[in-house]
Structure 1
């Protein structure tokens, strides 16, 4: 019993450390300090006049996407406070994305006072992308990812009805369609339709995840009078890792490491190893398109095969999965978001299906080397998260 308790604490500690690392990387990705600098490296006169504070209240419900989650089917309120800044062209990506708003938000909900779920807290950086032209009323799309904390989690003895989440610490993802309207000089009304998601990527099972659609209303206030310079946006110089409009393609190689927990089903944690290669063509300042190849080893597959057959496997080869996919990379300065959708060529255990998806967030240290967080899923159901490094080879073909 003591050894089991010790292992459980070790797994919880590992999951917590990984989630904290993911949050720190996301903060680095979305709140990169170079955004506030001018081309000469000095702080621009605009940066002191574009800070906003915002508060909003929402009303929504938890989607019971599994039969076991019907007991959570209630409506409840949520609240968010944030601090943000209006970009003005301190980096080329700000110009290419129509000068979005970037910020940091804290979110809270009691989840309908459920005795099984407890309260939910989240803190995440976000980017608010303009959709319509700059007017007194404007439409935005906002996306954020960070760290979530749920006060209650699954426990075999004390909280076995919580099949949604197996850990306190989780990834928190937010996406919303937002309307912003100027009320007076520095005061804005905000209204939005949003989806908030909590998941730990199967680092601790069960992990059905929590999905909360909501509607929000709030106000945003600019802390100081608008600087006249902010009305004339900048078009800054290109940086080495940004697209220069010439004909390029990229060959990318990378590897990642992760682990999966199956305590709710079979018990224990298992390592996951992944390698990949992508060939992408730069089709615009923002996008790269191409295809990729994957090789992965999931320790839970070996456990399941050995359990079902009653025999130990002599080789790891039957466990290795290979696959091919279509790839798309969206560039935002040193940050990129990568989506791969494909199918498996080989692998003895594929009960989760022959189709897979990968969603990755990358940070480029320079034009060649990057770090990444990757979520792998099957038919939109999260399977595992890996953390890795990669190399990007830029090739000019004219």
Structure 2
């Protein structure tokens, strides 16, 4: 019992450290994309801070996407406060995305006062992308990712009915469709339909995840006079990492590692290793499209095969999975979001199915080297998270 307790504490500590690292990277990626272009010589003068404070209240429910989660099927309120900034075109990416709003939000809900789930807290940076033209009423799409904390988690003895989450610290993801209407001068009404998601990426099982659709209403107040450049439509000069009109493509190589937890009979935490290569073509100012190849090793596959067969494997080769995929990369200055959808070529153990998805957030240190956080899933169910480095080789063929 003591060894189990010690291992459990070790796993929780590892998960906590990784989640905190992921949160810090996400803060860097989403709150400082314009700083990444500070090497450029020309910057607009910031004649106004464009800082806003926002508060909103919502009402939603938890989706019982598993039979065991029916006991959590209740309706409950949630609340959010945030500080945000209206971009004004100081960097080219701001113009390209129609002057989005960037901010940092704190979110809270009692999750229906569930004795098994407890309360939920989240803090995350976000970007609010305009969809419609700038008028007194405007539609936005908002996306954010950060750190979530649940006051109660699964415990085999004390909280065995909480089959949703096995850890206190989790990734928190928010996506919403938001309407903003100017009431007077610097005061705005906001209304939105949102989905909030908590998951630890299988770092600690169980990890069915928590999905909360909600509707919100609130107000936003701009603390100072609007920056004049918000209304400017001048196109700034070209910067690195963005489309320059030439014919070229990228060959990307990368590797990452992570770990995942399993609740199988011989459960525990196991390392995951992944390598990949992508070939992408610039198809617009914002995105690249192409295909990729993956090679991965999941330690839980070996454990399950050895447990089911009753004998040790002589080689790791049967465990290695190879796959091919379609790849799409969306670029925002030095930050990019990468989506891969593909299927496996080989691998002896594929109980999750032959189709997989990958979603990655990258930060480019320069035109060649980047770091990334990648979530791998099967049929939209999270499998594991890896942290890695990559190299981007630009090849011009014009």
Q: Take 1:278 and 1:226, find their aligned partners in 2: how far apart are those partners?
A: 42
Secondary structure of the residue aligned to 1:366 is: coil
Deviation readout 1:137-163 (Å, 9 max, x if unpaired)? 000000000000000000000000000
- Structure 1 pair 375–381 and aligned structure 2 pair: CA distance change class (3 A): same
- Structure 1 pair 227–95 and aligned structure 2 pair: CA distance change class (3 A): closer
1:238, CA displacement in angstroms? 2.1
1:242, CA displacement in angstroms? 2.0
Counterpart of 2:299?
299
1:229, CA displacement in angstroms? 4.0
Q: Is the 8 A contact 1:206 1:264 kept in 2?
A: no
Deviation readout 1:90-126 (Å, 9 max, x if unpaired)? 1111111111000000000000000000000000000
Q: Is the 8 A contact 2:43 2:91 kept in 1?
A: no
1:3, CA displacement in angstroms? 2.0
Deviation readout 1:301-350 (Å, 9 max, x if unpaired)? 00000010001000000000000000000001000000000000000000
Q: TM-score, normalised by structure 2?
A: 0.97
Q: Is the 8 A contact 1:36 1:43 kept in 2?
A: no
1:371, CA displacement in angstroms? 0.3
Unaligned 5+ runs, structure 2: none
Secondary structure of the residue aligned to 1:48 is: coil
- Structure 1 pair 38–50 and aligned structure 2 pair: CA distance change class (3 A): farther
Q: Take 2:33 and 2:339, find their aligned partners in 1: how far apart are those partners?
A: 26
Deviation readout 1:146-182 (Å, 9 max, x if unpaired)? 0000000000000000000000000000000000000
Q: Take 2:313 and 2:47, find their aligned partners in 1: how far apart are those partners?
A: 61
- Structure 1 pair 236–43 and aligned structure 2 pair: CA distance change class (3 A): closer
Q: Take 1:222 and 1:45, find their aligned partners in 2: how far apart are those partners?
A: 19
In angstroms, what is the RMSD of aligned CA positions? 1.6
- Structure 1 pair 224–265 and aligned structure 2 pair: CA distance change class (3 A): farther
- Structure 1 pair 320–85 and aligned structure 2 pair: CA distance change class (3 A): same
Q: Is the 8 A contact 1:100 1:130 kept in 2?
A: yes
- Structure 1 pair 264–42 and aligned structure 2 pair: CA distance change class (3 A): farther
Q: Is the 8 A contact 1:205 1:264 kept in 2?
A: no
Counterpart of 2:237?
237
Q: Take 1:221 and 1:44, find their aligned partners in 2: how far apart are those partners?
A: 24
Q: Take 1:76 and 1:56, find their aligned partners in 2: how far apart are those partners?
A: 14
Secondary structure of the residue aligned to 1:157 is: coil
- Structure 1 pair 64–393 and aligned structure 2 pair: CA distance change class (3 A): same
Q: Take 1:331 and 1:370, find their aligned partners in 2: how far apart are those partners?
A: 13
- Structure 1 pair 229–283 and aligned structure 2 pair: CA distance change class (3 A): closer
Q: Is the 8 A contact 1:35 1:90 kept in 2?
A: no
Secondary structure of the residue aligned to 1:33 is: coil
Deviation readout 1:249-275 (Å, 9 max, x if unpaired)? 000000000001114654210000000
Q: Is the 8 A contact 1:252 1:393 kept in 2?
A: yes
Counterpart of 1:209?
209
1:248, CA displacement in angstroms? 1.3
Secondary structure of the residue aligned to 1:201 is: coil
Q: How many pairs are equivalent?
A: 398
Unaligned 5+ runs, structure 1: none
- Structure 1 pair 389–38 and aligned structure 2 pair: CA distance change class (3 A): closer
Q: Take 1:249 and 1:258, find their aligned partners in 2: how far apart are those partners?
A: 29
Secondary structure of the residue aligned to 2:149 is: strand
- Structure 1 pair 67–95 and aligned structure 2 pair: CA distance change class (3 A): same
1:330 aligns with 2:339: no
Deviation readout 1:20-72 (Å, 9 max, x if unpaired)? 00000000001116459888668754363310000000000000000000000
Q: Is the 8 A contact 2:51 2:86 kept in 1?
A: yes
Runs of 4+ with deviation above 4 angstroms: 35-44
